[in-house]
Chain A
Amino acid sequence: MSHHIPEAVIWCLAVALTAVLILLVRQRGITAGVRRRVAQLEESLQARDEEVRHLVGVRLPAVAETMNQPVPLPGPLDERLAGTVFAQSLQSALELFTQAVDKAQARADQSAKAALKASMRALQGLAHEQQLAISDMQDRHDNPDVLRDLLEIDHANSQFGRRAQAIAVLCGSWPGRQRVASQLTDVVRGATSRIRDYRRVRVHSQADIAVVSRVVEPVVLAVAELLDNAARHSQPNTTVEVSLQPVHNGAVVIIDDAGVGMDGQEVQHAVALLSGQRVVDVSRLGDPPQFGFPVIGVLAARYGFSVSVDTRSPYGGVRAVLFLPSALLTHLEIDGPGTTPLRHPAATGTGRGTTGAPRSQQPPVRSPERPPAPEEFPAGHPDRLADDAPAVTGSTAGGLPKRRRRQPPAPRPAAPPPAESPSERTAEQTARIMGAFARGTRSGRDACDPPVTGGPTGPADHGAPTPDDEGKPPA
């Protein structure tokens, strides 16, 4: 019986051992699974850490850097996270950040533009005011030395005004000046007067094209920027050639410089700026800021002309072509009405007489007057000419009554008596007068002391016109 007991114990032990073994094996499997899972989770955690670090270190700065320009941004680092909730959260964080950056950027840009615009408008006003003052001074002073100084000040002031104007335009302002419709030649020369090296610019053709009032100042500004670029990027001893050409749909201003030219990348950049499509950020114009092309782009887009700089000039530099469509062009008759009345005073039409009136007023007086003068009145008394003028008025043209003003009203009644009396004298009377004059002079000189010469001439002068004194001195 005692043998059964150990056997039973052994069986129990065996069963227990087996159970433990099974448990152990199972436990081991579970542990391995848990360890694997932990490793996986750790790896995943690490990936997310990396992803977040990538977001903060690379992606967000990239968003802040590129602003609102269409540049490809760096994507997420780990492919395995794609589609997870975590990735979506990151994406929405990124979007929020982008929006915030855009908003802040826009606000900063807007306030910078507003501040710049306001200050530039003030400067523009001052420049205009100064220009008026300088023009007044130029009119007033006739001394060439003063004029030379004034011209220099004027030149500096014009450049200063252009800079202020360009920045104001870039900040969304209008050019700040309304001009009358002007000849394209004058527009180009106006642009020439606003750059530093204006002496190097040669304007060639004298095309009879005019620019409508609305776009005169914008075109002046755009051409001035092109000319400034051309002159600044070429040697000081070269010229900048400008030619104006009428074309089928409008007119072009062609500006050739003999400078360094632009390479492909610069041309691309310039074309993008000149298209006016890209929003210009005033804080990113470079150092020193390059205003030229952005300003031209803004003006071209706003006023409907176009500028291209992508052709090479035959002189080796850049050929800039500004195209003005027919809608911006007009036709002026500036010189015609002004000069024709000079030649044909009687033939002036009534409509054109408005400009011609001040000019035609003077010459007809002069031309008919000169021939009769030698014949009738060689003496050339002013009152004689005034007497003559009304007759001329009546005979040539009735539409010019203003010439009557030339008659001096006061001297006329007084003038005729002395003028008439000499002509009525007979030769005998005249001889008596002259004789009395001579005798009086002689007797006066004889009577008075030699030093007192003023005394005798006095009485002699008085005695001359009246024949009554004739008898007294010789007696």
Chain B
Amino acid sequence: MTPPAPRRDKGLVRPYVVTDGRAHPTRNTFDLVTLVMAHGDLPIGGLSPEKRALMELCLGGALSVAEIAGHLMLPVSVTKVLLGDLVDSGHLSTRAPIPSAQLPEAQILQEVLDGLRARL
């Protein structure tokens, strides 16, 4: 394996430059496992380098907030600020992860149905 290609130097661009000094995301809907999906139809030319990298990441498919933060090598809270901006501008949309407990269990439904049929 070749040594890892040079990546962004983490200490070079500080997070406050990335978020332009903001710490609060414009919306408070992001969780570590919130899934983010990109809308490829909007231009990404005018975005900051981090936002462009984020869009390019997300264009490949839905990613969770934690994964995005890991790939961009940014703190999660900073990533949330960026995500809030991008959702506001319509570049991204979010989807809360579906908790597995709420999924309808077709087997049980079938059993209930069968039971009811047998009963009535």
Contacts and interface: CB of A to CB of B under 8 A. Distances in A.
Interface of A: 131-132, 135, 138-139, 141-145, 147-148, 150-152, 154-155, 158, 179-183, 185-187, 189-190, 192-193, 198-199, 206, 216, 220, 332-335, 337-339, 341-343, 351-352, 354-355, 358-359, 362-363, 366-367, 378-380, 382, 422-423, 425, 427-428, 430-435, 437-438
Q: Which 5 A-B pairs have the closest CB atoms?
A: A431-B118, A342-B60, A434-B115, A148-B23, A193-B14
Given A144-B25, A379-B103, A431-B114, A180 B7 contact: yes
A150 B78 CA distance: 11
B60 A198 contact: no
Contacts of A337: 5
Contacts of B53: 335, 338-339
Nearest to A190: B12
Contact of B49 (A145, A186, A342, A423): A186
Contacts of B60: 339, 341-343, 363
A143 B115 contact: no
Contacts of A423: 107
Contacts of A152: 16
B61 A430 contact: no
Interface in B85-120: 100, 103-107, 111-112, 114-119
Contacts of A145: 23
Residue among B7, B23, B59, B71 with most chain A CB within 10 A: B23
Given A193-B13, A220-B12, A199 B21 contact: yes
Contact of A343 (B6, B12, B25, B59): B59
A154 B71 contact: no
Interface of B: 1-17, 19-21, 23-25, 49, 52-53, 56-57, 59-63, 67, 71, 75-78, 80, 100, 103-107, 111-112, 114-119
Nearest to B77: A147
Contacts of B63: 362-363
Contact of B14 (A158, A199, A343): A158
Most chain A CB inside 10 Å of its own CB: which residue of B20, B24, B118: B118
B106 A355 contact: no
Contacts of A193: 12-14, 16-17
B112 A138 contact: no
26 contacts: A138-B15, A147-B23, A147-B78, A148-B24, A180-B9, A181-B6, A182-B12, A185-B49, A187-B12, A190-B13, A193-B12, A193-B13, A193-B16, A198-B16, A333-B5, A339-B53, A342-B59, A343-B60, A351-B2, A354-B1, A362-B63, A431-B115, A431-B119, A434-B115, A434-B119, A438-B115
A160 B62 CA distance: 40
Contacts of B61: 342, 363, 366-367
Nearest to A140: B75
Contacts of B10: 135
A144 B77 contact: yes
Contacts of A379: 103, 105-107
A206 B117 contact: no
Given A147-B78, A148-B24, A366-B62, 15 more contacts: A131-B11, A141-B77, A144-B77, A145-B23, A147-B23, A152-B16, A332-B6, A335-B56, A339-B56, A354-B5, A422-B111, A434-B112, A434-B118, A434-B119, A435-B115
Contacts of B62: 366
Given A338-B71, A339-B56, A434-B119, A192 B5 contact: no
Contacts of A437: 115
Contact of B12 (A144, A179, A427): A179
A430 B114 contact: yes
A338 B9 CA distance: 15
Contact of A334 (B8, B111, B116, B119): B8
B78 A138 contact: yes
B2 to A, nearest CB: 5
B13 A154 contact: no
B54 to A, nearest CB: 10
A438 B119 CA distance: 10
Given A145-B23, A343-B60, A427 B14 contact: no
Contact of A430 (B77, B100, B111): B111
Contacts of A335: 52-53, 56
A427 B114 contact: yes
